[in-house]
A and B are shown apart, each in its own frame.
Chain A
Amino acid sequence: MGRFSWRDLIPALGLLALIELSCAVAFASPQKAGAQGAEKWWPFGRSTFGFGAVFVDTNGSAEKYRTDYNYLPGFNLTEFSLDLLGEGSQTSWMDYLRVSGNGFGDSYPYEQAALSFGKRARYEFRGRYWKQNYFFSLPSYALGGRGEDSARRVTDLNLRLFPHPKVVLELGYFRNSNFGTAFNTDSRFQNLFQLRDPRRSLTQDFRVGVSFHQQSLRVSVFQNFRKFKDDPEQSDNRLVEPGTLPEMRSTSPLRLSVPSTSVLAQFSPSGRLSLEGKYTYSDGHVEAGRTEFVALSLSEGLSLEEIVHATSSSDRPEHRAEVTASLRLNNWLLFRNTFAVRSFGIDGRSLQSTTFQGTAPGAGSISAETSLDSFLDYRLVRNRPVLEFFPHPRLSFFGGYQYADRVVETGPDHRQVTVTHTGFSGATWRPFAGSRFSLQFEKGTDNEAFTRTEPRQVTRWRFSSKLPLFRGLSVHPHFVVENRTNRSGGQNFNSELRQGGIELTYARPDDRFTLSAGYTLFDLNSLADIRFFLSRQVSQDFSRYRTHLHFFHSRAVFPVGSRLTFNLGFGFLRDPAGSSYPLTRDYGEAGARLRVSSHWNWELQWRHVSYNETLLDWQDYVANRLALTARWSY
């Protein structure tokens, strides 16, 4: 997906055409304004247009570098933006226009653009386009990697109409497509196939809504229709373990439809009391099928074919509701309660027929049919009261309790009821302007855990702060201490997280020198006992995951003269031996920006990355990336 395609530039070119058109309007209209006296445009804010080239040099595993960064050499439209605002325009059909985008071209793993325009009190249009490229190197089986070179393209369009000061109509369209090449695996007869698995799923949402507000009451109703389709066709192109399976292919057409209705109501009868309620009902329906063809070579001239046809369908009705009430008792006390309900069920069935037929003369065929039911019933009730206390404008405390009751039924005899109690509290103190100290504590218990690692006891301390030392310079110490345990019914799971660090920033509006640096220690120690079969004997052991990460980053920007700005940066990441996945990564960066004129800037950025891991040294690499950009701004 990283390869250049002219089609990728079509949205950018379309937006550029819009920019040109808008600029023409912007710069032509002031003259018109004088003649007509009704319309006046001027560029508001800053309009930019940047383009450049990226050069990448990799020594070592280029695929791993792409997996980590996915930057490629090429020419790019790095950014563009335009803001136009009309003043006192009574007759024009549009009084503001904003266009922006970045990352178009060969090099960047993402590209995005946004367009919004409208006329105040009449309508508002917002459009967003976004593309993300995914690249993962070919499978490293020990770690569970899965090769992929695909992309996701998202388009979101939204039109709001204001026919009446108290009524808003909304129309929307959302499109999300996932396409490209991926690799999958299939296990059969003790052999493992690697399959080419093209991605081409498409999700489309159509939504319509209306909002109404009258004084302190606001009500919104939305109807959404989702359509999802996927037609994967898998075909083998490589055997991982040499075997006797010369051919395997499958198709799995899938169609989903999910209509949903949402209602939102907000009511604030006074400044002290506010109520908010949300309710959503959706009813998903699945229709899926699968066809497989496998050819198995048994001996010279003799082979066996396996043909599988499967169809499945399911319904999934779901209800969600949440009501929040906030009551300010006085200037010092605020009470808030949130009550939520969720329930959904799955009632589905899969029918599968399998036919084995021999290709030798006189060989017959055997067919079998199987049926598999799917059932799930999920119900959740949750209530969460919180009391907040403000003894001083710069000091606040809060404390609350959450009760949750969850029922999960996966069959007639499989019913699990989980009751969770969680207490939490915290304080925020702002001793002086710009400062903040925040401490939170949470402790929760479950009577039963759904999975072995869903904790039955959780204790968490979280601290964050911001402390200005002097003008422009501030430090942010922070830490998290978390213990999660589950010891019941022969299970033993324990996870301890210790994360702490300090961030330092220096930035002032009137100073072109900026500094950003930070160090974080991330220590996670997780231990879970497991039982497994070894030589047909049950063995008991434990699975331990340990990481002890140190990472540091820094970046300084400093001016040299009035036209030149340099930046330097350095960072490292260390997970030492003894960790589950020891690795070392260092980076350094340097750059310069030259202001050629008040409208033109030239920028050169260099970034060096060195990646080194202990377990799989064939994934190590050293990479250098150089980016040259010219930026025009108005």
Chain B
Amino acid sequence: MALLPRIDRVPQLIGLLCLVGTGRLLAQEVPDYVGIDTCEVCHDEEAQSLRRSPHWAIYRLKPEAEQSRVCESCHGPGSQHVDDPSNPLLNFRDGSTQKRTEACRSCHAQQGARHNVHLRAGLACDSCHTSGHGVSSNGEEEGSNFTDPLLIQAEAPLCASCHAEQKAEMQLPFRHRTLDGALLCSGCHDPHGQSLQRTSVSLIPDRTCLDCHTEKEGPFVFEHLASTVTGCMSCHAPHGSTNPRLLVRSDVRFLCLECHSETPTFHDLTRDRFQNCTLCHTAIHGSQVDGTLLR
């Protein structure tokens, strides 16, 4: 018990800690802003390209006293770095994911959840986006380095650079034409959010398909419960398939019979006609007038 601190000395200890803390704070020199003209003395190339970036344009709209802080708004106040160049500022090449992300979030706080799947995978904002400077502007390069959200390359190849599995699926004969440039990955996925919380036994169907395929959404008086309850992906493979209409089976009978066993007696499955269920059940996504989805 003698080793434990006595309770009556706790206020004294707290007071001592406060004194030490205050002393450390006073001893620390608070860095100050120096402005882009000072940064430019050494970092001429970066400053030149920054002056042609959207970030520069935004800072031109700020109060005059803040306009020159365009470099330091991301890298931090630079006075100590000027005094001693070995004293580093935030380096976006080597800094931790969290620090780099927080630097961007100081302005772009609304861009997605603080702890989304990409951050968990070790990606920071600058893994996909550029600040607008230090990027090669090779005029012959395919795609645009200066697309709207300042991506480091066109969106589909950028996503495919990590998501190799999906890139491979999009080489199949039937696919959403994302790699051709007709669609964007972000048209279905939210790279900043948490919408990728999907598991193989997820009970919420993917409604993102219905953003484009609105005529399949209904509401229907008689819904096909497979799509209502288990989702579009119970029958379709969204990234790519060898089967027309991105179906997960080459043959309609394989797809339907796996769920709808024990068909009525007049369904003679030895005949082609009854092997192709959608020849009669044409309103396969839902019907307004017929409970058996015949029309």
CB contacts between A and B, total, < 8 Å: 336
Bound state CA distance, A376 and B218, in angstroms? 14
Chain B residue numbers with a CB within 8 Å of A254 are 288
Determine the distance from Cα of A547 to Cα of B97 in the docked complex, in whole angstroms. Answer: 41
The yes or no answer to A372 lying at the interface (CB within 8 A) is yes
Question: What is the CB-to-nearest-CB distance from B271 to chain A, in angstroms, rounded to a whole number?
Answer: 10
Pairwise interchain contact A310-B289, C-beta atoms closer than 8 A: yes
Minimal beta-carbon separation of A219 from chain B (angstroms) = 12
Contact B204 A382 (CB under 8 A): yes
Contacts of A493 in B (CB 8 A): 258
Are B140 and A565 in contact (CB-based, < 8 A)? Answer: yes
Q: Which residues of A contact B114 (CB under 8 A)?
A: 268, 274, 326
Interface centre among B145, B228, B264 (most CB of A within 10 A): B228
Q: Is the CB of B164 within 8 A of A503?
A: yes
A374 & B161 in contact (Cβ 8 Å cutoff): no
Given contacts A192-B280, A580-B251, 10 further A-B contacts (CB under 8 A): A46-B146, A121-B61, A228-B215, A258-B219, A314-B288, A326-B115, A394-B122, A410-B225, A452-B258, A580-B254
Check B89 for interface membership: any CB of A closer than 8 A.
no
B15 to chain A, nearest CB (A): 26
Residues of A within 8 A of B234 (CB): 451, 453-454
- B38 contacts across to A, CB distance below 8 A: none
Q: B88 contacts which chain A residues (CB < 8 A)?
A: none
Please list the residues of chain B having a beta carbon within 8 angstroms of any beta carbon in chain A.
52, 54, 56-58, 60-61, 94, 96-97, 102, 110, 113-115, 120-122, 136-140, 144-146, 148, 161-165, 167-168, 171-174, 177, 180-182, 194, 197, 199-201, 203-204, 212, 214-215, 218-223, 225-226, 228-230, 234, 242-245, 249-254, 257-259, 261-270, 272-273, 275-280, 282, 288-291, 294-295
When C-beta atoms are compared, the residue in chain A nearest to B145 turns out to be A45
Within 8 A of B (CB), among A296-344: 310, 312-314, 316, 324, 326, 328, 334, 336, 338, 340, 342
Contacts of B245 in A (CB 8 A): 136
Q: Is A189 an interface residue (CB 8 A)?
A: no
Q: Give the distance to chain B from A61, nearest Cβ to Cβ, in Å.
A: 13
Q: List 8 A-B contacts (CB under 8 A).
A: A109-B177, A154-B212, A286-B288, A384-B197, A503-B168, A509-B138, A551-B171, A551-B172
Question: Bound complex: CA of A422 vs CA of B203, how far in Å?
Answer: 11
Query: Are A424 and B199 closer than 8 Å at their CB atoms?
Result: yes
B289 touching A288, Cβ below 8 Å: yes
* Contact among A120, A532, A593 with B58 in the assembled complex (CB-CB below 8 Å): A120
Contacts of B115 in A (CB 8 A): 274, 326, 328, 334, 336, 388
Q: Does A553 contact B (CB under 8 A)?
A: yes
Could you say which residues of chain B place their CB within 8 Å of the CB of A81?
A: 144
A324 contact from B113, B229, B275, Cβ within 8 A: B113
Nearest residue (CB) in B for A137 is: B244
A378 to B204, CA, bound (A): 11
Chain B minimum-CB-distance residue to A537? B265
Binds B, one of A1-9, A157-165, A356-364, A522-530: A522-530
Asked whether A102 is an interface residue with its Cβ less than 8 Å from the other chain, the reply is: yes
Q: Does A487 contact B (CB under 8 A)?
A: no
Q: Chain B's nearest CB lies how many Å from the CB of A125?
A: 13
With known contacts A268-B114, A428-B121, A340–B204 Cβ distance under 8 A: yes
Residue of A nearest to B230 (CB): A454
Contact, CB under 8 Å: A288 / B221: yes
Contact A324/B194 with A464-B162, A464-B165, A528-B258 known, Cβ cut-off 8 Å: yes
Q: Which of B52, B58, B200 contacts A484 (CB 8 A)?
A: B200
Using CB atoms, name the residue of chain A closest to B266. Answer: A533
Q: Does A206 sit at the interface, judged by CB under 8 A?
A: no
Once the chains are docked, how many angstroms separate the CA of A378 from the CA of B250?
31
- Using A340-B204, A346-B219, A402-B199 as known contacts, say yes or no to A573 and B264 having CB atoms under 8 A apart: no
- Residues of A within 8 Å of B120, CB to CB, are 388, 396, 398, 428
The number of residues on chain A lying at the interface, defined by a beta carbon within 8 Å of a beta carbon of chain B, is 162
Question: How does the 8 Å CB contact mask read for A432-457 relative to B, with 1 for contact and 0 for none?
Answer: 01001010001010100011111100
Contacts of A184 in B (CB 8 A): 282
Partner of A152, one of B57, B212, B251, B294: B212
- Evaluate whether A252 and B267 lie within 8 angstroms (CB atoms) in the complex, with A384-B197, A532-B261, A543-B257 already known: no
Q: A87–B212 contact, CB under 8 A?
A: no
- Residue-wise, chain A 383-427 has the 8 Å CB interface mask toward B (1 for contact) of 010001000011010100010101010100000001010101000
A581 adjacent to B226 (CB under 8 Å): no
| A87 adjacent to B242 (CB under 8 Å) | no
Which residues 80-106 of A sit at the B interface, judged by CB distance below 8 A?
81, 83, 85-88, 95-96, 98, 102-103
- Residues in A with CB closer than 8 Å to B277 are 144
Chain A contacts for B137, CB-based, 8 A: 45-46
A185 interfacial by beta-carbon distance below 8 Å: yes
- Residues of A within 8 Å of B180, CB to CB, are 110
B121 close to A438 (CB less than 8 A): yes
Shortest Cβ distance from A294 into chain B, in angstroms?
12
Q: Does A238 contact B (CB under 8 A)?
A: no
In the assembled complex, which residues on chain A have CB atoms less than 8 Å from the CB atom of B251? 142-144, 545, 580-581
Chain A window 128-150, contacts with chain B (Cβ cutoff 8 Å), 1 for yes, 0 for no = 00001000100101111110000
